[in-house]
Amino acid sequence: MFTGIITDIGTVVETEQHGDLRARIRTGYDTAGIDMGASIASDGVCLTVVALGPDWYDVQISAETVARTNLTAWAPGKRVNLERALRVGDELGGHIVSGHVDGVATVVSVRDEGDSTRVVLRAPADLARFIAPKGSVALNGTSLTVNEVAGAEFGINFIPHTKQVTTWGDVTVGDAVNLEIDTLARYVARLAETV
């Protein structure tokens, strides 16, 4: 489990396709404190560490994960949001995030509003019903509050701090974004189906 509070920006060093996709990510984390088999959310995708170096870790990514995420666009130099798994006693500053991406949203507009940046995204049609104003979503692993919803489109405001400590300062129209809907929204929708 994760919180959606990004604690490092990693860089994809290399990718290789050998059955599954394998990626090496350079990180500022102290890799001596990372165990083999640990889970690290990388752009919101819970991935298992399969190798470690002094400033990098490798992950192996199944075809199913690649098909449901934006990881097909990973290439050397790509910056990614990173978060270590939640430990008992850690502060829950965002919301509960599983690292199981539900689909890929697309950025449809980006505009500055004062010091903040308003980003409008389009969710896949089957996920749009789970997104509500003032509800939570995880986008590329970042816990965010939804401002408004209009059909399948929804808006997020990014304050300067978020743009500095995540990859959201680099956002452009057309970007594919990993979307994880709020677990609570999923259960409420399921309960409504059975009533």
Write out the residue range of the structural domain in which residue 110 sits.
103-194
The pLDDT of residue 78 is above 80: yes
Phi, psi dihedral angles at 170 (to 5 degrees): -100, 5
Top-confidence residue, 91 or 21: 21
**Are both 75 and 115 inside the same structural domain?**
no
Name the amino acid, one letter, at 2.
Answer: F
**Are both 183 and 139 inside the same structural domain?**
yes
Domain boundary among 84, 116, 147: 84
Sequence-distant (6+) residues with CB within 8 A of 77 are: 11, 12
Sequence-distant (6+) residues with CB within 8 A of 1 are: 85, 86, 96, 97, 98, 99
Q: Strand 79-84 vs strand 56-61: parallel, antiparallel, or unpaired? A: unpaired
The pLDDT of residue 190 is above 70: no
User: What total of structural domains would you count in the chain?
Assistant: 2
Query: According to the model, what pLDDT value does residue 195 have?
Result: 62
The answer to whether residue 62 is domain-embedded is yes
**Are both 71 and 149 inside the same structural domain?**
no
Judge if pTM exceeds 0.85.
yes
Q: Which of 184, 193, 166 lies closest to 6, judged by CA?
A: 166
Per the CB < 8 A criterion, the answer to whether 150 and 120 are in contact is: no
Query: According to the model, what pLDDT value does residue 165 have?
Result: 97
Which residue's structure tokens are 């666009």? 73
- Whichever domain contains 141, its CATH number is 2.40.30.20
The answer to whether residue 90 is domain-embedded is no
CA angle 143/71/116 to nearest 5° reads: 35
The answer to whether residue 1 is domain-embedded is no
Lowest mean per-residue pLDDT among 21-35, 121-135, 178-192: 178-192
**Are both 75 and 130 inside the same structural domain?**
no
Per the CB < 8 A criterion, the answer to whether 162 and 119 are in contact is: no
Phi, psi dihedral angles at 44 (to 5 degrees): 85, 0
- How many Å apart are CA 55 and CA 35, to the nearest integer? 14
**Are both 107 and 187 inside the same structural domain?**
yes
Query: According to the model, what pLDDT value does residue 77 have?
Result: 97
The answer to whether residue 175 is domain-embedded is yes
The pLDDT of residue 12 is above 70: yes
